[in-house]
Amino acid sequence: MAKRGPKPTPKKVLRARGSWRGKGRAKPSRPASRLASVEPPKDIARWKEALAEWKRLAPLLSESGVMAEVDRDILARYCEMAALYRRAMKVVSKRGESVKVKSKKGNAYERDRPELVRAMKLSEHMVKLGARLGLSPGDRSTLKVPEPARPEAGGKARFFKRGKREGA
The answer to the question of residue 92 being in a domain is: yes
Which of the four pLDDT bands, split at 50, 70 and 90, describes residue 36? Answer: low
Look at residue 168 and tell me whether its pLDDT is greater than 60: no
The answer to the question of residue 41 being in a domain is: yes
The answer to the question of residue 90 being in a domain is: yes
Query: What's 25-49 look like in SS3?
Result: CCCCCCCCCECCCCCCCCCCCCCHH
The pTM for the full model equals: 0.66
Provide the domain limits for residue 67: 32-145
Look at residue 14 and tell me whether its pLDDT is greater than 50: yes
pLDDT tens, position by position, 52-100? 999 999 888 888 777 777 888 899 999 999 999 999 999 999 999 988 8
The answer to the question of residue 108 being in a domain is: yes
The amino acid occupying position 44 is: I
The answer to the question of residue 19 being in a domain is: no
pLDDT at 80: 93
The answer to the question of residue 167 being in a domain is: no
The answer to the question of residue 163 being in a domain is: no
What is d(CA 26, CA 146) in angstroms, rounded to the nearest whole number? 11
Number of domains the chain contains: 1
The answer to the question of residue 119 being in a domain is: yes
